[in-house]
Structures are given as C-alpha cells and as structure tokens.
Structure 1
Amino acid sequence: MSWFISPKQLLQRGVLGMNSRNIHYIARHNCRHLYPLVDDKLNTKQAAQKKGIAVPELLGVIESQWQLRQLKQLISQREKFVIKPTRGSGGKGILVITGRDFDYYVKSNGRKLELSDIRRHINNILSGLYSLGGKPDRVMIEALIDYDPAFTGYTYEGVPDIRIIIFKGFPVMAMLRCSTHSSDGRANLHQGAIGVGLDLLTGKSITAVQHNRPLKQHPDTGKAFSELQIPQWQAILELAASCYEMTNLGYLGCDIVLDRAIGPVIL
C-alpha cells in the first residue's frame, strides 16, 4: 500500500503545509518582538515560573567556560538529570542521564560517560554547536521527569511528551511523542520518535506514525497504541491554554510532560 499523497489531495483534506503555517499563522498572529521569550528555553522557564506554571526543577545554568568548575557540585548529588542548550531545536544537544554507576553517568541507552565527557558536551553547547544560527549558547541542567506509569510500554529509554498547538488561546491539535531506541531516548520525531495523534475531546489515541509510516504498536515494546488514554487530560489542556496569556503569542506549540508526583509540567 502506498502512503504518498499529492499536495492537492492534502489541501482538500485540510492539511496545513509548513509554508502556509509559517506565513498565515506564525507570522500573522505572532509579533516578532515576542520571539526571544520562546526561542530561549531559560527565558520560557522563567516566564512560566512568574505565572505560577509548573516546570521541571532547574538545577543550574552554565553561561561561560569558567562556570564549568561548578559542574561536579551541581550534579554530584543527582542520579538523574537533563542537560539542554537554551537555544537548541529539534532535540539537538539534549543529554539525558538516567543513572549513576560509581563515577560514571549512565545514559538511557546504557552508555556510560565520565565527567570529562559531560564537560566536553557542555563546551560544545556553549560554542553554539546546537543553537539556532550557531551562536554562542547557555546550558540548562534540569531534574529528569519521572513519567506517569500510564505511559509504561508507550515509550522506550526516555520520557514521552505531549505537543499541543494553541491558537488564540484554544487547543486545536495534540499529539503524544514517544521515544524509541532509534531516537536515543528523546521524544523528537526527526530522530526516530513516534508521533501519536490525540483526540482533543478525550485524550485518546487516533493514529501513530514513525518515519512517515503508520504503526499499530510500539516497535520496541510491542504495546498497542489503540489502548492509549492520556490521564489528567483536562488539566493538560488547561495548562497548555495558559501559555497563551504567558507569551501573548497567537500561534504556539506547548510541550508538556506528565510527572508521576507533580502532574502536568511545561517543558
């Protein structure tokens, strides 16, 4: 069976192309002076905290080479944490540590890193290797989310997140992004994660896709996506909608994770 479809057919079915989205929605409904708030993850986190919106715990920020001296102290008492470039995109540069083995830091795929490996990765972030436009960047170190057990079997070696598109304050589209072995534990579609379309009314799964091909079950766990029901769905929608007032952007995407203890939080 062929899954290719012509642009005309996509248009007839109401599918919005990226160029049309960029011109008629992002550019038209978002004032450009507001972009720095959402182009930088640290700025977004701080804005959310001011509004009382739940976010993952911030363990530390590294803005320059000399601050790397603080790295061992920042992570010495943490078995699990995430390192992110503040201006990265597409999941690039995100390093997820899920455990410790004596002096080693263990990634979700089981690979062990030394402290020097983490320092090298942070150096690469600071130099702009993963940032938009290759400009020098900052580094955020966050607590790792302990995802809700309702997602067991729907993700592999990583934390699943929910992407909700908000238009003028209203949720209009949603999907769950599930990490896989091929995505290296990251919930990024470009790197091999699975996108699961969600019904906005109920939070139930509709269709799952990986690498532009439909799936009925997770390739690593065998869990059927037809059984998927997102818990606390109403609270998740309300959290996403609150980002409209936080950012004043008419069109935006919110990434949300469901923590076992805290509940829904904004990434």
Structure 2
Amino acid sequence: MMWANPFRLRRRGVLGMNRRNIDYIGRYNDRRYYPLVDNKLETKLVVRNAGVTVPELLGVVRTQHEIEFIDVVLEPFRQFVIKPAQGSGGRGILVITGREDDGFRKSNGDVWSLRRVKRHLSNILSGLHSLGGRTDVAIIEDLVISDDTFGDLSHEGVPDIRLIVFRGYPVMGMLRLATKASDGKANLHQGAVGVGLDISTGRNVSAVQFDRPITHHPDTGARLDQIAVPHWRELLTLASLCYDVTHLGYLGADLVLDRRRGPLLLELNARPGLTIQIANHEGLVPRLSRIELLEEHSRDPGVRVEFAMQHFVHHPYRGQQSLWESDTPAQGSTG
C-alpha cells in the first residue's frame, strides 16, 4: 500500500476508520434509518417517490416458489440485472446483456442456462450474498447502458460515480472503472480503478489502482487525465437530495450515467469507505470540518450543491508532499 506515514496523513486531513466511525457515522447516522440504505429495494422505492431517478424495476422475486415461473417474468427482456437486495461489494450481481438460443449471455460473453439463473436466484433468497447471511429477495432491474462519454474507460462494467455526502453537502467524489482484475465490477478493493473528481467541475484529479497512482486504464489503455463527467451538477443534486430522503448525515451515493435516461442512483451506503481520499490525493477532514462550522445548513439541495462547488475546488499540491510515499505513476497495471 502506498500511503505515507501517519503524521503526514494527519497534517493533510486524512480521515481514518476509527474517527469516521465515531465522529461521523456514529454521530450523524441514526441507526433506525439504516434499513433504508442496507436494502436496495427499500432504497429504490423511497428515493423514487422523492423524485430521484433510478434504474427501472422490472420485477422482484421473494419466494422460492416464484423462481419456478421466472422464465415468464424474464421473457419480455433481453437485457437486465439481477441483484440481491441486501448484497454488498458487488456480490451476487448477475448482468445479462442479451439472449443466445435458450441461454442468457453475460457481459463477459459466458452463457447461462435458465436452470443456472434459477439456481442463482435461489442462492440470493437463501442469503448467500446478503449482509450477515440473512434471507433476502432478488431485484430485477433494467440494464444501464453507459453514457457514450465514457467510451473505452471501463472494462465490461458500467462506470459509476461515488459521492460522499455530509449533512446534505457533496464533499468528495470519484469515478470507479471496472477492470479485468475486478471482474467487471466497480470495486476498488477488487482492483477497479478510482479516478478522483474535482467537486467544482467533475474533472479528473488523479487516478489509482490498488492504492497506487496510474495514468492509463490497465486493460483498455485509455488515458485517465482528460475526463470530464457530464451532467455534473445534476449528479451532485441527486446525491444531495438523498440526505433529505434518508436523514443520514454521512453517506455514500453511487450513481451512473445512462445513455438514455441520464443520471441514475444505483444505491446508498451508510458506511462509505475511505479510499476515495487516495483517489483525490486529499483528506476528507478539512471539508467535513468546513460543513460543521456552518452556522446554518440549507434545506435546499441546489443551494448545498452550489456551496460545495464553490468551496471544494481542487488545488494542485503547490509544492506540498503528496499522500504517496512515491509519486511515480504507473502507466497501466501496477505489476
């Protein structure tokens, strides 16, 4: 791991796990609201009613008996996603991009039989992929088609945008790009690429894989220093609105850009990770403290977004040491 020594991290305002858990999650996240974000179906229904755009819900499988008739449910759809309502880290997500004879073609080209899809659904319901192994339900959603802007930036999977929202103010963001190492999932711990984003513009700040700086996508070879996320203000506004819906003061919002529908919310996280700081070469603490010092917190998501865009502008290092022990970036994969 390429983090610097603890003293330098503290000076740069890097938020550690213990402080995150005590000072932010413990203080600002009322546990009674956790079910709203820990269950993707609950999240979808609640935020949709509040005007937040989400991928279209095609169906829900709640019982083993319903699995027997899943071929009838899926018959109208050539492309869809099946996911556990209480899954985490991308586990249990099945992405179907087309049909092939009597089978279902995945994004990597593999073809699954109907029997295998049924077995996957049965595993979801039994809790194989859920938090704590609890029994679960399966969600069937419309497949998100990535915005053309991202082109060859990602390997197989759809790029998503993680935004940290504190008391309704978006304070830090990154673009997550799937790789072969991450098996097409936008999970940084599994090897996805994280591209830090300037909150004021939606433009790239830096890029990392396995906590080390890189300049190009390790699989596609695409440059990672010329990225500008479209619909940026709208994305920030959707994330900000999620605070009003969930009442969680510290949360992570995962969004995507669909070619047809524009910005969509995928899911929310009451315990968002801290690697977003590595992707941005900047700590969260100064930004969080700036929000805490406000005498009045606006109830208007648009006002909160405008404040964030004005006050959380990314500034180059200006001679400071970066967060890295070494600042020599790799061209692609980290070897």
TM-score (norm. length: structure 2) = 0.77
Q: Match of 2:81?
A: 82
Partner of 2:256: 257
1:107 aligns with 2:103: no
Deviation at 1:87, TM superposition (A): 0.6
Higher relative contact order (CA 8 A, sep 6+): 2
Which moved further from structure 2: 161-170 or 73-82?
73-82
Q: Which runs of 5+ in 1 are unaligned?
A: none
Do the aligned partners of 1:90 and 1:188 also contact (CA within 8 Å) in 2? yes
2:183 alignment counterpart: 184
Paired position in structure 2 for 1:27? 26
Aligned-pair distance for 1:31? 0.8
Amino acid at match of 1:89: S
1:230 aligns to what? 229
- For the 8 Å contact 1:85–1:137, the answer to whether it is kept is yes
2:55 corresponds to which residue?
56
Distance 1:66 1:106, change over 3 A: same
Q: How does 1:1-267 map to 2 (within 5 A)?
A: 3-267=2-266
Aligned-pair CA distance for 1:8: 2.4
Letter in 2 for 1:104: G
Whether the aligned pair in 2 keeps the contact of 1:164 and 1:240 (CA below 8 Å) is yes
* Residue 213 of structure 1, CA deviation: 1.6
Q: Note if contact 1:174-1:197 (Cα within 8 Å) is conserved in structure 2.
A: yes
CA distance in structure 1 between the aligned counterparts of 2:72 and 2:82, rounded to whole angstroms: 15
Q: Which has the larger radius of gyration?
A: 2
CA contact (8 A) 1:109 1:181 kept: no
CA distances 1:151-196 after superposition (whole Å, capped 9, x unpaired): 1111111111100010001000100111112222211112221111
Write the letter of the residue equivalent to 1:35: Y
Q: Where does structure 2 lack aligned partners over 5 or more consecutive residues?
A: 267-335
- Letter paired with 1:250: G
- In structure 2, distance between residues paired with 1:7 and 1:74: 54
Following TM superposition, the consecutive aligned residue runs of length 4 or more in structure 1 with deviations greater than 3 angstroms are none
TM-score by length of 1: 0.97
Structure 1 counterpart of 2:100, which letter?
D
Between the aligned partners of 1:109 and 1:235, the Cα distance in structure 2 is 31
Distance in structure 1 (CA, Å) of the matches to 2:110 and 2:6? 43
Aligned partner letter, 2:137:
R
Amino acid across the alignment from 2:76: Q
Bigger fraction of residues in strand: 1
CA distance in structure 1 between the aligned counterparts of 2:189 and 2:142, rounded to whole angstroms: 24
Supply the AA of the counterpart residue of 2:169.
F
The number of residues matched between the two structures is 266
- Sequence identity percentage: 53
Mapped to 1, the partners of 2:223 and 2:248 lie a distance apart of 36
CA distance in 1 between partners of 2:210 and 2:165 (Å): 25
> Residue type matched to 2:87 in 1?
G
- The answer to whether the 8 A contact 1:83-1:142 is kept is yes
> In the TM superposition, what whole-angstrom CA distance separates every residue of 1:128-165 from its partner, at most 9, and x where no partner exists?
11111111111101011011000111111111110001
Report the Cα offset of residue 53 of structure 1: 1.0
- The structural deviation recorded for 1:200 is 0.3
8 Å Cα contact 1:108/1:184 also seen in 2: no
Alpha carbons 1:177, 1:195 under 8 Å: kept: yes
Letter of the structure 2 residue corresponding to residue 12 of structure 1: R
1:225 match: secondary structure: coil
1:104–1:115 CA contact under 8 A, matched in 2: yes
The amino acid across from 1:152 in the alignment is G
